[in-house]
Chains A and B, each alone.
Chain A
Amino acid sequence: MSNAGETTSEDIEEDKSGLFGSNETAKNRKRRRLITSLIVIFVGWELFGQFGIENRLFFAPLSEIAVSGYENWISGELQKHISASFQELLYGMLLATIFGIAFGILIAINQSVREHCDPIVSALYATPTVAIAPILITAFGLGIASKVAVVFLIAVFPIIINTTVGIRQTQESFIETAYSFNATRWQVIAKVLVPSSIPFVIAGIRLGVGRGIVGVVVGELFGADMGLGIFIFEAGQTFDAAPQFLGILILCFAGMALTGLLQWTEKKIAPWHHFALDEE
């Protein structure tokens, strides 16, 4: 299924970009626009750092950040911190995704579970669950387990909510069509509700990743022996702006990479999903 979809959607992209008057493929255009934005930001940053701000306690030009990155990489420090934070995020997100989807489906299809749990899920979503981080660190220690727990707790709610919404927005007539072929309840769930909710679920995971990265950093600030949060915190203690920005930039790129990965995943598993206002 994904194979066939891939060819089709790509054909269309090419067709339409032709239609809009340029020979550039949609993919190339997207890449070009992203690179333009990044260059503008980087050049602006360097100039502002060199000439705009005198006080090096608050700001560092890109070149200094790059030097700091090189030094920390050579010493092997940076890799250890990145690896710790990455594992916290990965395991926390995996747990949140699996549990969030399962529980979201349950809330959507079971009235009793929904009426018991839906208001509470909404309340917890709005609660700054990250405030519970100190307690989790006391409970699970300074290692990665406590941060995995923080990431899970903060990321799971948007996934639950989006899964539930995704399933409940399924067109009634789609469900009736399945029933007209005498589908069982389980078949309706597996063949109609779940596929129809996929774009919502992926959007929920994206929201979860954003919150999860915050969870990693805040969790580490409250107590950790390794991780980018700690790396940033320690640089702050010595009033060294460059490594702090280095850590922040790495987190920012991690977020972008994960978002890109999710978009790519969505294209693979939901090639049919299409937003009418997109040109391609």
Chain B
Amino acid sequence: MKNNKMNVLDNNVMMEIRGLSKEFSRNGERLQALLEIDLDVVEGEFLCLVGPSGCGKTTFLRIVQGLIEKSAGSIELYGKPITQPSADRGFVFQQDNLYPWRTVIANARLGLELAGMGTDQANARANEMLKLVGLEGFEQSYPRELSGGMRQRVNLARALTIDPKVLLMDEPFAALDAITREAMQTELLRIWREAGKTVMFVTHQIDEAVYLANRVVVMAPRPGRIEKIVTITKTTDRSEDAKRSQEFHQAVDEIRDIIESHDREDIMAN
């Protein structure tokens, strides 16, 4: 087997994040959700973010999407500062957020419609993406007629229709059962390869991160920050077998150790 290492340093940095901080104030109290995040995102990579609950993963993704403002630092995509959502970034929410009053295809074309594209053209594009996520034949169904896994596929297709450079995914498979989740992981990898996107993927599950990612960003809480970035060595064909390999378990253990060492510190501090 050819060990095709993906060396990120050889590739183009598309997104540059420097000293990114976010402070919330709640009931007059300040909360440092993110503190001085530095991160380079490489074109075409699959980047996973893991970390304990409340360490600011969602907040981070939202800032990258331009849904909320940062408090300090800079974040640039292809050299241009990010200030608001735009077609170069697509967001996949944890809850699928499909509009119950829209059919599957009408949900999928939402982003194009909002960008002012005509219905026929938008439908054609949405159809293509529904096919890509394996939902051919369900175009005219309503969301309540779909299973959780299918709804997440529509969610993904909706983000893909606008043809973003970067896909931001916030625990998209968290609500799915284990079997559906594994199927979705494999699908996502296939789509990632076929569509040639850069992916930033938040998850709670370390094995999911190791299975999917080229690099895993391990975050720590209070204040939310990057603890370590672990590069995952893997063969290009990520088969399910990869999950049984020695390397896989080593990487999972390494990340678990980092996170747990923090939990211990936390418990001692309290």
Q: Which residues of A contact B (CB under 8 A)?
A: 1, 4-5, 7-8, 12, 171, 173-174, 176-183, 187, 191-192, 195-196, 198, 270-274
Q: Which residues does chain B contribute within 8 Å of A176, judged by CB atoms?
A: 67, 93, 97
Main SS at interface, chain B: loop
The answer to whether A1 touches B93, judged by C-beta atoms less than 8 angstroms apart, is no
Question: A182 — nearest CB in chain B belongs to which residue?
Answer: B85
Interface residues on B, range: 20 to 34
The answer to whether A195 touches B101, judged by C-beta atoms less than 8 angstroms apart, is yes
Q: Which of A171, A177, A179, A192 has the most CB of B within 10 A?
A: A177
The answer to whether A274 touches B114, judged by C-beta atoms less than 8 angstroms apart, is no
Q: Which residues does chain B contribute within 8 Å of A1, judged by CB atoms?
A: 102-103, 106
Q: Which residues does chain B contribute within 8 Å of A177, judged by CB atoms?
A: 91, 93, 97, 99, 110
The answer, yes or no, to whether B113 is at the interface (CB within 8 Å) is yes
The answer, yes or no, to whether B140 is at the interface (CB within 8 Å) is yes
CB distance from A5 to the nearest CB of B (A): 7
Question: B142 — nearest CB in chain A belongs to which residue?
Answer: A272
Q: Which residues does chain A contribute within 8 Å of B93, judged by CB atoms?
A: 173, 176-177, 180
The answer to whether A174 touches B103, judged by C-beta atoms less than 8 angstroms apart, is no
In the assembly, what is the distance between CA of A1 and CA of B109, in Å?
14
Q: Which residues of B contact A (CB under 8 A)?
A: 65, 67, 84-87, 91, 93, 95, 97, 99-103, 106, 110-111, 113-115, 140-145, 162
The answer to whether A4 touches B114, judged by C-beta atoms less than 8 angstroms apart, is no
Question: A177 — nearest CB in chain B belongs to which residue?
Answer: B97
The 4 A-B pairs at the shortest CB distance, nearest first, are namely: A181-B111, A4-B140, A182-B85, A180-B91
In the assembly, what is the distance between CA of A12 and CA of B102, in Å?
17
Known: A181-B162, A183-B114. Is A4-B99 also a contact (CB below 8 A)?
Answer: no
Q: A173-B93, A181-B110, A272-B101 are in contact. List 18 more A-B contacts (CB 8 A).
A: A4-B103, A5-B103, A171-B97, A174-B97, A174-B99, A177-B91, A177-B97, A177-B99, A177-B110, A181-B111, A181-B115, A182-B87, A182-B115, A195-B99, A196-B99, A272-B100, A272-B144, A273-B100
The answer to whether B97 touches A8, judged by C-beta atoms less than 8 angstroms apart, is no
